[in-house]
Amino acid sequence: MVFALVFVSLLGSSAARAATGAADPTRRVILDGGDSHHRLAVDSIWTRRRSIHELEQRVRTAPRDRIALDRLGAAYYDAHFMHSAQTMFARALALDSNDPDARFGLGRTLERSWLDEPVPSTLAAAREQLEAAVRARPEFYEAWVTLAAVRFEERDVPAAGEAARAALTLAPDGLEAQLAAASLAYRSGLLARADSLFGIAIPRCPPGIAKRFADITPLLSEAEQLDFGELGARAKAEYVRRFWGRSDPDPTTPQNEARLEFCSRITHALLLIGDPWSPHWLARTDVYTRYGHLVQLGDEESAAQTEMSHVAWGEVADDPTLEALATVHQDVVGGGAAVFAPLPPGARVLPLAWSVTRFEGPRGARLAVRVETPGTPSDARFADCIVLDAAEHELARDTRALSPSGCDPAALRSGEFAFDVPPGRCRVAVAVRDTAGGRGVGRADREVATPSEALGMSDVVLACGVGGA
C-alpha cells in the first residue's frame, strides 16, 4: 500500500487547554521552539501523569461531567493514549452531541488514526468532526487552524483557505492564523498576499522555528552542505541570497516562488504536527519540506510502487534519483536534494518560444531577447524580461505588451527586448502572461565577452521563427 506523505495534528498542549476548559481564541498553538520535544519529554511528563490521575479520579466520581471527560480525553491525547482519548470524547458526545471540545478532540484522534492507516474515509471523518466543532463554536480558533491543515491534506485548497481566513479573522495577530493564511494564499496562487503574510509571521516565530524557515541546508547537496558549513556568518547570508536567487523559477516577479513554496511546506508540517523536528517526525518532515507531496511514504513490500523514492514508516529517507525526479516535471535544486514547482499554483501553462542574441552596441555588448506565444490579435499578452549578473544582482528589466507577429499575425503574439550589459556571465529570464492565469517562463545563462576592436560578426537573427534560448 502506497501512502502520500502525511502528518498528524499535535497542535499545542491539550493539557494546558484542559486547565481552562474552552479554547482561548488567541491561545498559542505552536510550541515554543524548533526543539521543544526535549521540553515535552522531560519537563512535562510528571505534570501530565498527575493531571491524568486527577482527571481519572474526577471522572470516576462524576461520570456525567462532560467537561472532565473532555479534559481527560485531551490529556490522553497528549500522552498518545489514542484509544482512551477517543473513548472519553465519545462519552462526552453521548452527553452533548454538539460539544465542540469533544468534536475537536475526536477529529484529532481520527487524524492520528489516519496516519497509522491512511484510509481517505478516516481523514474525511476527521474533517467532519472539526467542521462540527467550528459550527458549534464559530470562535474556535484552534479548530479552524487544524481544519485548514486537514482540508489541505484532502487537496481542497479553496475550503482550506476559507478555514485559514476564518482563523485570521478571529485573531488577526495570531501567529498560527497568519502562517496558515500565508501558506494557503500561496497554494491559491495569491503570491503577493502570501509573501506579505510570511513577511509578518516568520519574524514573530519562536527562534527555533524561525531558524527552520531560514535554513537552506536540507535543500543542498552533500558537497554544497560541506562548503556552506565552512563559511562565516556574512558569507553564509550571501550564499543564502544567491541560492534563493538561482532557485527562483520566475525571477521576473517581485516574489520568489520557490521560497514561498518552501515556507508553505514548513508551515503545513508545523501546523499539523506542532513539533515536526522531534526525532519521531524528523525524517518525514525532512522529506516533505524538500519535495512536498511528490515523494511518497509507503510500504517497501507493496507491489504498488512508482519511480519515486519511498520511505517505510519511521525510517530515514533515501533521496530519489534524478531520473525519478524527472518524472514529476519540477525544478530540481541541489543536485536532486529538493524540487520546486516551475509555475505557481493555479497557473495555466502558456507556450513560450524565445531567443537571446548578442550584438555590439555603441556602449558595448547588447542583448536582444525575442519572445513569441500563441494569441490572436484580440488576445492580451504581456512579457516581462530581466537580466541578472553572476551574483544574482539585477542588471536590467523591462515589461511590454506583445503585438501580433509579423510572421503569423492571426495566431502569434511577439515582442523584443534590448539591454546593454557589461562583460561577464549573466542570466536572462523571460515570462509571458495573459489575463486568464496563463504563464510561460524561460531562463538561460549567457556569457558576454569583452568587446573587441577587431571586426567581428554578431549573432544571426531569422526574420521569422524564434530559436531556442
pLDDT score for 12: 33
pLDDT score for 280: 75
**CA distances from residue 397 to 386, 393, 461 in whole angstroms, order as listed:** 4, 11, 22
Give the distance between the most distant pair of CA atoms in the chain: 100
pLDDT score for 49: 76
For the chain, the C-alpha Rg in angstroms (whole number) is 26
pLDDT digits (tens, 9 = 90+) for 277-303: 888 778 878 888 999 887 654 444 443
- DSSP bridge partners of 427: 388, 445
SS3 assignment, position 34: coil
> What is d(CA 399, CA 36) in angstroms, rounded to the nearest whole number?
48
pLDDT digits (tens, 9 = 90+) for 302-321: 434 333 444 443 345 567 78
Residue 84 pLDDT exceeds 50: yes
**Mean pLDDT computed over 145-152:** 95
Strand 403-404 and strand 394-401: the pairing is unpaired
| Average pLDDT along the chain | 84
pLDDT score for 99: 97
pLDDT score for 322: 84
Number of Cβ within 10 Å of residue 437's Cβ equals 13
**CA distances from residue 150 to 114, 323, 358 in whole angstroms, order as listed:** 11, 32, 52
> What is d(CA 172, CA 389) in angstroms, rounded to the nearest whole number?
40
**Mean pLDDT computed over 45-69:** 87
Burial of 457 (0-12, 13-18, 19+ CB in 10 A): exposed
- Of 273 and 127, which is predicted with more confidence? 127
Confidence of residue 119 (pLDDT cuts 50, 70, 90): confident
Residue 28 pLDDT exceeds 50: no
Residue 454 pLDDT exceeds 90: no
Residue 194 pLDDT exceeds 90: yes
Burial of 277 (0-12, 13-18, 19+ CB in 10 A): buried
- DSSP bridge partners of 445: 427
Q: DSSP readout, 201-267? A: HGGGS-HHHHHHHH--GGGS-HHHHHHHHTS-HHHHHHHHHHHHHHH-S-TTSSS-HHHHHHHHHHH
Strand 424-433 and strand 438-448: the pairing is antiparallel
Number of Cβ within 10 Å of residue 120's Cβ equals 10
Q: Where are the domains of the chain?
A: 1-346, 348-448
pTM of the model: 0.85
CATH topology of domain 348-448: Immunoglobulin-like (2.60.40)
Percentage above 70 pLDDT, the chain: 80
Q: Which of 11-25, 202-216, 356-370 holds the top average pLDDT?
A: 202-216
- Of 267 and 282, which is predicted with more confidence? 267
CB contact set of 267 (below 8 Å; sequence gap of 6+): 179, 180, 182, 183
DSSP annotation of 218: G
145 near 271, Cβ under 8 Å?
A: yes
pLDDT score for 467: 56
pLDDT digits (tens, 9 = 90+) for 106-116: 999 998 788 77
**Mean pLDDT computed over 74-94:** 93
**CA distances from residue 356 to 328, 342, 428 in whole angstroms, order as listed:** 28, 21, 8
Confidence of residue 324 (pLDDT cuts 50, 70, 90): confident
pLDDT score for 302: 43
**Where does 1-346 sit in CATH, by number?**
1.25.40.10
- Of 79 and 85, which is predicted with more confidence? 85
- Of 42 and 317, which is predicted with more confidence? 317
Closest CA to 272 of 1, 10, 73: 10
Residue 39 pLDDT exceeds 80: no
**Mean pLDDT computed over 332-352:** 95
pLDDT score for 375: 96
